[in-house]
Structure formats: C-alpha cells, structure tokens
Amino acid sequence: MEAQSIPEVTEVHEPVPPVVTPGAGMAPPSDAIVLFDGSSLNHWQGRNGSAAQWRVDNGAMTVEPGTGDIQTREGFGDVQLHIEWRTPEVIKGEGQGRGNSGVFFMGRYEIQVLDSYENHTYPNGMAASVYKQTIPLVNASRKPGEWQTYDIIFMAPRFNEQGRVTHPARVTVIHNGVLVQNNVEIWGDTQYIGLPTYTKHDDRLPLRLQDHGDLVSFRNIWLREL
C-alpha cells in the first residue's frame, strides 16, 4: 500500500496542546492573568513606581485627571489582551479632546482610546487606531457612556545585538467584536510629534493606561502570555 493512501502518515500526535477552560460570560479563561477584577489596583502603579491613584468604584477604575498614567507592576511581551472601556456619557470637547486615553503595550506602542462616535478627528488618531500610524478598517464605536471592548493580539518587536529591528511589532485589534486592525505592522514608538522610530528595549515591559485628562473608565482587564 502506498504511503499517500495511509491516513496515519499525516497524523501528528505531539505536541498535545494544554487544556484551557474558556471563561463563562465575562469571566477570563483559566490561564489568564487578571490585571483588574473590579476591586483593587494591586497590579498597577504610577510610572515612577508610586501608588496608582485612579478611582475604583462599581467594578471599574476611572482616570483621576492629573494623577498621571498607570502601568502594570509586571512586564509583558507577546500577549492576548482583553480590556473594556467607557468614555463619559456627558460629552465635553471634540476631536482629540473627547474621551481620550490609550492602551500602551510595552509602555510605548499605543492603541488609541477615544470617543469616536460621531466625533470628527484625524483617522489615524481615532479609537482603535495604532496612534498616528494605522487607521482602523472601520469605525465600530459605541455611543458615549456605553461599555466597549478591545480584544488585542500584540506581538512584540525583536532586536539583534546591534539594536536593529529584525521583526517589527505587529498587532491585531477586534473592537466590539469587529476586526479593525488585521495583523498590521507597528512602525515604532507611537509619537504625538515626529515620525515613529524603534529604540531597542527589554523583552518584557509594563502595559500602560493613559491619563489624558478625561474621565475614561476601564474594567475586566486580563491577558494571556503567548
């Protein structure tokens, strides 16, 4: 009997994937690292190592304007991140001044958080953009005051011994269940002014959330290391 007619020839028995129990409802999967469960900021600190000063109530944490960004105490590289966020129901400002915050992978690669519901701004700065780089495929924003979700796959950049990028960072973003960034390349640090560039950094760095002066809230934050 010819090998190509034997089904066992193409069966692969190792490695056997580990078992992960999916979460029920809003619960995270069994192998997730829960960064915020609605009760405390134990996993977070200020950028200078001080205590995180954002407000925690009703299962959410909310930016306390002027207290600064907060970041995880632990560093991460390649991750799957789930995070839910809400901009204020009462609309104040317009463009970038309306419900602005951000999710910074490794403290430097930002996925924008913004009230982009019927709010005009530059498209590479709207919600779910790689800030000042990649425009989302569509605008999947909910109304202000409604909870929104990001499910993000982030692959960290790789550098050689000389500090040059061998593999740029890449990101996939699903916004409210809609694919908006499809495995796009990140061009470097997301800058407000100037072009993005890469600077060699550690393999594991904190996840950071931005205090942009608006009362943006977050809840149900967990990630899986890849």
What CATH number did the domain enclosing 156 receive? 2.60.120.560
This prediction's pTM: 0.95
Q: How many domains does the chain have?
A: 1
Contact yes or no for 204/76 (Cβ under 8 A): yes
Q: Position of tokens 């009462």?
A: 90
Q: What is the mean pLDDT of residues 126-134?
A: 98
pLDDT surpassing 70 at residue 19: yes
Q: What is the mean pLDDT of residues 23-36?
A: 94
Summarize pLDDT for 40-97 with one digit per residue, the tens.
999 999 999 999 999 999 999 999 999 999 999 999 999 999 999 999 999 989 999 9
Predicted local confidence at residue 4, as pLDDT: 72
pLDDT surpassing 70 at residue 162: yes
Q: What is the mean pLDDT of residues 185-194?
A: 97
- Residues 159 and 166: their CA atoms lie apart, in Å, by 5
Average pLDDT across the chain, whole number: 96
Q: What is the mean pLDDT of residues 12-30?
A: 93
Q: Which domain holds residue 193?
A: 3-225
Tokens at 58, concatenated: 């009703």
